[in-house]
Chain A
Amino acid sequence: MSFRTIPLYPGDMYDTACRLASEHAPAAATADASPAWRQMLELGWQGVLVAEAAGGVGATLQDLAAIVEGTGRAGLTVPLADRCGVAPVALAAADSEAAVALLGAVAAGTASVCPVLSAGSDGPGRAGAARLAADGSLHGLLGAADLSEPATHLLFSARDQGGEAALVLLPFDRVAAAARRYTGADGRQFADITLDGIALGPESVLLRGRPAATAAVAACHAGALLGCVRVVGAIAAMIELTIDYLNTREQFGAALSSFQVLRHRVVEMYVLYENTAGLVRRLVEQAHETGFDGYPRDLAAARLYVGTVCRTVAEGVIQLHGGMGMTWEMLAARLGMQILGDSQRYGDPAECLDWLTAGSLAAAAA
């Protein structure tokens, strides 16, 4: 039997996630929830991180990581990290009655909150574009909301004229008409949403000032970390698939896996995988112990590193499959597109490099 990787968090959660994801071929995008996503909602995955008191499972970050890693192997486009990690973390910080009620609905799978958050200057990320005017109306653009599955609400960062942060929650149907939709390079469905003078009631602003900024940073931290976890799952599958492919395909009367140059290239990817898996496991443990407190420098460095790993592995896997590596039908190639996409969200490599450098320069000058 060919080589199989060892998951970050083996166990029932991981096995269930692998099984569920592998049962569903990636569905063509429609306005309705995909069968895979419906099943995930029914299983209560949006409530894994939600406290039991709020109707959730109250499980650990490692449990969610196991789910994200397992599904990450199958090339589905479900927004697990956003809906099951980022949005619940931000909502939990809000702690208002409305937020708690919404968390209950999220855990039950009757609501789904699409986050469009920015860490502002507290973490790598481009400044949030939504602006809150004095009359309570919203302006600006919310970029690249992941709407691969239907959302009932949007949760996003905004700034008022004084530069104060706000955490805003809107029912999705209030902005649905203002969404310009795109298919990303990885097959996910995104939208840019123009906020053109939408009037806000006070109930829509969940948090203001420092608490709003802190909640957004914590949620971005979760998104960045879970994105890395998904990459680990995807790369594990890509390496296994590539080994299977090279063992099976013959050219010049021999299996491709008999050519040393190809073996070495897979070995190099495997070493990157082990290293990345170790790094990401460490960061998950750290977040489990200390919570999503601020956006740690280590995470930014990890994302910068993971970004380069994603490039190397995606490009390597394509090359090793020859023409087949260019095809959308090939799961390994599609996973390559997905890890490239993952490395662009919640701190892309350029943002991380710039943020880290600014921090280093400031430290050197101090």
Chain B
Amino acid sequence: MNAQAPQPRQRDAIDYAAFRRELVAFVEANCPPGLREIVRSNQKIGREEYAAWQRILHQRGWSAPNWPVEHGGTGWDLQQRYLFEEVAAELDCPPLYHHGLGHIGPVIMHFGTPEQKARFLPRIVDGSEWWCQGYSEPGAGSDLASLKTAARRDGDDYVINGQKIWTSHAHEADIMYTLVRTSNEGRKQAGITLLLIPLDLPGIRIRPIHTIDQWHHVNEVFLDDVRVPAANRLGQEGDGWKCAKFLLDRERLSPAMVPRLIRQLQQVEELIHSRIRADGPSPTLHRALERLFLAQASAMGAREMLLSAIQEEMNGTLRSSKSSALKLHYTELSQQISGLAYDLVAPRYASRLLPQVPAADGADDRDIERQLLHTYLFYRSRTIAGGTSEVQKNVIARDLFGG
């Protein structure tokens, strides 16, 4: 053992059961019931809800469970991080906002200058600054490297022109970490640079995209002669692709995903039980139970797959085929679960998705069955966003077949 290296708390020295109890007690005492109700009933959550919980966690020093202590994180080990996510999911706390804590934060830690770390990281940890991801463009989706949004160097600034699309949360974000083209020479990937673009700059216009789930999640972002200081460039010019890959590899390994799936499965099971109590065990409900059992087993497998992938990632042995396999499996399983919920709620809610005059007491919003229909529709994007299933399969196949 290396006595010099700063040691995290020893694995066998941690009483995980006590740690879990501490988490539960904290959530029960501090996560506002109204917030938990919003999450429980599967409502669409936005900055307000994410940030409210993050502020509370921040006061306790827990707002960045996966970050090292030096940057304001908890320094927890894998088991503790997983327990945190498990308790948060079981007790219906809002998830941690991934774009800051999960995505750009680690990239800034890895590629950022000391000034950038000091400027950006604390506000990610305390939740005062909100991020979104400006990667995709109308012509560059699966083939991200063909992106065209151009950044031209002009003195100490870059001048940016182009358009981003599918930008989740842009309407409520402060900064967009953005892939731009700084060169058309050589390989397409080599001319890409990562810029941190404040969204209140002149020349930026954000327009909502109307999606089939009827939730406002994604946007178009138009950039028209937008001036961004060169100090907002992360890494060197041309390093953008490297940063993006670094980020994507982590995006696929969020410890939060499996506990949220398991919570959804519990909710679907409760729904089936309530139907059985109301209508008796009809053939449809028998069939739903079979699908539930299969999904439960599959989620158990996903849990082990995730934990081993995180372990491998920490040891530096993780193959990209495994993180892609996890993304593929997790997103398809989440569609199976939301599809099962759909079959139970659609007969009633397909014709009642949006009440034209919502109940004044919020009863329509709290109606979990209605929200499960929104969720089913929204989850069609699970196998599209963050790299489509087809693209994941290409990645996995390349690794399996050696080319």
Complex contact A353–B211 (CB within 8 A): no
A144 within 8 A of B: yes
A21-57, CB under 8 A of B: which get 1 and which 0?
0000000000000000000000000000000000000
A166-190, CB under 8 A of B: which get 1 and which 0?
0000000000000011111110101
Chain A residues 309 to 364 lying within 8 A of chain B, measured CB to CB, are 311, 315, 318-319, 322-323, 325-329, 333-334, 336-337, 340-341, 344-345, 348-351, 353-354, 357
Nearest opposing residue in chain B for A360, CB measure: B283
> Contacting A325 at CB < 8 Å: which of B282, B283, B384?
B384
How many angstroms between the C-alpha atoms of A341 and B214 in the bound complex? 15
How many angstroms between the C-alpha atoms of A327 and B211 in the bound complex? 4
Nearest opposing residue in chain A for B145, CB measure: A252
Chain B residues 106 to 157 lying within 8 A of chain A, measured CB to CB, are 136, 141-143, 146
Tally chain A residues at the interface, Cβ within 8 Å.
45
Complex contact B212–A328 (CB within 8 A): yes
Complex contact A328–B211 (CB within 8 A): yes
Shortest beta-carbon distance, A191 to chain B, in Å?
Answer: 9
| Stretch of B96-104, B226-234, B300-308, B346-354 on the interface side | B346-354
Q: Given A251-B141, A318-B380 in contact, is the A350-B343 Cβ separation under 8 Å?
A: yes
Nearest opposing residue in chain A for B142, CB measure: A251
B267 within 8 A of A: no
A3 within 8 A of B: no
Complex contact B353–A182 (CB within 8 A): yes
> Contacting A348 at CB < 8 Å: which of B210, B347, B393?
B347
Shortest beta-carbon distance, A334 to chain B, in Å?
Answer: 8
How many angstroms between the C-alpha atoms of A326 and B388 in the bound complex? 13
> Contacting A327 at CB < 8 Å: which of B212, B284, B373?
B212
Complex contact A186–B165 (CB within 8 A): no
B17 within 8 A of A: no
How many angstroms between the C-alpha atoms of A318 and B389 in the bound complex? 13
Complex contact A262–B211 (CB within 8 A): no
A271 within 8 A of B: no
Q: B357: which A residues are within 8 A, CB to CB?
A: 180-181
How many angstroms between the C-alpha atoms of A181 and B364 in the bound complex? 13
Q: Given A323-B381, A326-B381 in contact, is the A182-B212 Cβ separation under 8 Å?
A: no
Complex contact A357–B352 (CB within 8 A): no
> Contacting B209 at CB < 8 Å: which of A181, A318, A327?
A327
Which of B218, B353, B373 has the largest count of A CB atoms less than 10 A from its CB?
B353
B199-220, CB under 8 A of A: which get 1 and which 0?
0000000000111111000100
B339 within 8 A of A: yes
How many angstroms between the C-alpha atoms of A190 and B211 in the bound complex? 20
Tally chain B residues at the interface, Cβ within 8 Å.
44
How many angstroms between the C-alpha atoms of A261 and B381 in the bound complex? 19
Shortest beta-carbon distance, A357 to chain B, in Å?
Answer: 4
B287 within 8 A of A: yes
B312 within 8 A of A: no
Shortest beta-carbon distance, A361 to chain B, in Å?
Answer: 9
How many angstroms between the C-alpha atoms of A325 and B377 in the bound complex? 11
Nearest opposing residue in chain A for B349, CB measure: A185
> Contacting B350 at CB < 8 Å: which of A318, A333, A341?
A341
Nearest opposing residue in chain A for B377, CB measure: A185
> Contacting B384 at CB < 8 Å: which of A262, A326, A328, A344?
A326
Nearest opposing residue in chain A for B140, CB measure: A251
Q: A353: which B residues are within 8 A, CB to CB?
A: 283-284, 287
Complex contact A182–B339 (CB within 8 A): no
Q: B210: which A residues are within 8 A, CB to CB?
A: 327-329
Complex contact B352–A190 (CB within 8 A): yes
Q: A146: which B residues are within 8 A, CB to CB?
A: 351
Q: A334: which B residues are within 8 A, CB to CB?
A: 212
Complex contact A181–B356 (CB within 8 A): yes
B383 within 8 A of A: yes
How many angstroms between the C-alpha atoms of A353 and B288 in the bound complex? 12
Chain B residues 348 to 391 lying within 8 A of chain A, measured CB to CB, are 349-357, 373, 377, 380-381, 383-385, 388-390
A183-204, CB under 8 A of B: which get 1 and which 0?
1111010101000000000000
A78-113, CB under 8 A of B: which get 1 and which 0?
000000000000000000000000000000000000
How many angstroms between the C-alpha atoms of A353 and B287 in the bound complex? 10
Name A residues whose Cβ lies closer than 8 Å to a Cβ of B. 126, 144, 146, 180-186, 188, 190, 192, 251-253, 259, 261-262, 311, 315, 318-319, 322-323, 325-329, 333-334, 336-337, 340-341, 344-345, 348-351, 353-354, 357
Q: Can you list 26 residue pairs at the A/B interface with Cβ under 8 Å? A: A182-B352, A183-B354, A184-B351, A185-B214, A185-B373, A190-B351, A190-B352, A251-B141, A251-B146, A253-B143, A261-B393, A262-B390, A318-B380, A319-B380, A319-B383, A326-B381, A327-B210, A328-B210, A336-B212, A340-B346, A348-B346, A349-B284, A350-B282, A350-B343, A353-B283, A354-B282
Across the A-B interface, the 8 shortest Cβ-Cβ residue pairs: A251-B143, A350-B284, A357-B283, A144-B351, A328-B210, A190-B351, A183-B354, A182-B352
Name B residues whose Cβ lies closer than 8 Å to a Cβ of A. 136, 141-143, 146, 165-166, 209-214, 218, 282-284, 287, 335, 339, 343-344, 346-347, 349-357, 373, 377, 380-381, 383-385, 388-390, 393
Other A-B contacts than A340-B350, A341-B351, 4 sampled, CB-CB below 8 A, are A181-B355, A182-B351, A185-B377, A350-B343
